């Protein structure tokens, strides 16, 4: 099973990268929100979210992504999404969120 969520952040002089691993759903979305908002706040520039090991996200988690983006935009910054899996990409497309985020 791959239930639990691990959020790991790396800061550089220019920006920050967040590595997500596991699942994001209503159970841990609040915990995810606190961590990702903190990174957006502390980053010196854009924030990249590496989703290589994210195997599930629900609408609650997607809502946190949107909230984090709004927060970033207030400081003229962007959120980049890296290495997203097909099943999660599909959710971004269906909900139209693929047009808000920079998906690499």
Partner 1 sequence: MELNDRITLSLPCKAEYVSVARLTASGIAYRMGFDIDTVEDIKVAVSEVCSRLINVSKNSDGEYEILYEIDDNRLKVTFSSKNIERAGCIFEDDKDGLGVSIIKAFMDEVEFCPDNKDYILSMTKFIEEKS
Ligand X SMILES: Nc1ncnc2c1ncn2[C@@H]1O[C@H](COP(=O)(O)OP(=O)(O)O)[C@@H](O)[C@H]1O
Residues that bind partner 1 in the complex, under the rule CB under 8 A? 1, 3, 23, 25-27, 56, 58-60, 62-63, 87, 91, 94-97
Q: Which of ligand X, partner 1, none interacts with 100 (beta carbon under 5 to 8 A by kind)?
A: ligand X
Q: Which of ligand X, partner 1, none interacts with 45 (beta carbon under 5 to 8 A by kind)?
A: none
Helix axes 59-74, 86-95, angle to 10 degrees: 70
Cα–Cα distance for residue pair 67/85, rounded to 1 Å: 21
Q: How far is the CB of 75 from ligand X (least distance, A)?
A: 18
Alpha-carbon distance values, 75 to 12, 15, 69, 72 (Å): 18, 13, 10, 5
Please list the alpha-helical segments (H only) found in the chain: 29-42, 59-74, 86-95
x/- string (CB under 6 A) for ligand X, residues 14-53?
----------------------------------------
Give residues in contact with ligand X (CB under 6 A).
Answer: 59-60, 63, 66, 95-97, 100
């Amino acid at each position: 099973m791959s239930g639990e969520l691990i959020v790991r952040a790396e800061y550089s002089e220019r920006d920050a990268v967040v590595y997500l691993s596991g699942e994001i759903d209503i159970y841990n979305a609040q915990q995810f929100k606190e961590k990702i908002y903190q990174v957006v706040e502390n980053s010196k520039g854009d924030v990249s979210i590496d989703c290589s090991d994210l195997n599930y996200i629900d609408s609650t988690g997607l809502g946190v992504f949107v909230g984090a983006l709004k927060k970033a935009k207030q400081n003229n910054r962007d959120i980049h999404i890296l290495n997203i899996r097909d099943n999660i990409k599909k959710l971004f497309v269906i909900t139209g969120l693929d047009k808000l985020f920079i998906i690499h």
